[in-house]
Structure 1
Amino acid sequence: MLATLDQILYHSRIDGFLESIAERNLTYYASDLLDKHACRSREELSEAVKRATDVCSCMHLPLQENIKAVYRSQDGQVMQDWRLSPVAYMLLLINSDASNQVVAQLQLELIKRALHQE
């Protein structure tokens, strides 16, 4: 079957629309955790993203709706970052270095809340 240029453009528009729908909840940036001192380095941030991605994959959460790699300019350099859904943002935060006081405090707070829910 041959595709015409009109069909290709039509599917391209549909794909773009579906991508924008999937991205509508990507309201956070992973680099925000560097600013909030929840991650100390870009390497630590990358590891936390990997662990959050693993959780999403394991639980069959659609990655395109939760984590998207992007590139942003910072101090005249292009840096990799990630746009995150609220769920992915929290996964990233709780999967960061537990020796970090911000992360440890959040983990403890989540445990306390979970225990009080029972």
Structure 2
Amino acid sequence: MTIEHIATHNPIENFTDSLADRNLTRYASEILEQHGCSSLQDLRIAVKRATEVCSCMHMPLQENFKVVYRSRNGEVVQDWRLSPMAYLLTALNSDSRNTFVAQLQVEMVKRMLNQT
């Protein structure tokens, strides 16, 4: 962030950013920990697909996804803070051959069928 950017960043923008951030309660890397993705590259693809779903549905990305950088195994890596919905969309768009992802997909279908 530059001095010029700080000078033009106003309190209203700070407030709206804070409101959006409060719903970002999960990290995409949690899906790696659940073995829903086998690599950071697979996770990037799943996050990209989830953002495409949100864009298609005209849902604000800022309220569901935020790029962050975290330490992992002694190096700084890209991660994402996600809303609960974005977390589920990312998991659902991960590798369906994975047990965690497959179970999640089946559970979502069962819930949808029980609602009708």
Q: Same fold (TM over 0.5)?
A: yes
- Which residue is equivalent to 2:55? 57
Structure 1, unmatched stretches of 5+, are 1-7
Range 101-110 or range 8-17, more displaced: 8-17
* CA separation of 1:115 and 1:82: change in aligned 2, threshold 3 A: same
Q: TM-score, normalised by structure 2?
A: 0.90
The separation in 1 between residues aligned to 2:61 and 2:69, in whole angstroms, is: 17
**Correspondence for 1:23:** 21
SS in 2 for 1:61: coil
Structure 1 stretches of 4+ moved >4 Å: 8-11
Report % sequence identity.
Answer: 59
In the alignment, structure 1 residue 105 sits paired with structure 2 residue 116: no
Uncovered stretches (5+) of structure 2, i.e. residues with no partner = 1-5
Shift of 1:49: 0.2
TM-score normalised to structure 1 length: 0.88
Give the aligned partner of residue 69 of structure 1.
67
Distance 1:11 1:72, change over 3 A: closer
Count of residue correspondences: 111
Q: Secondary structure at the match of 2:10?
A: helix
Deviation at 1:74, TM superposition (A): 1.8
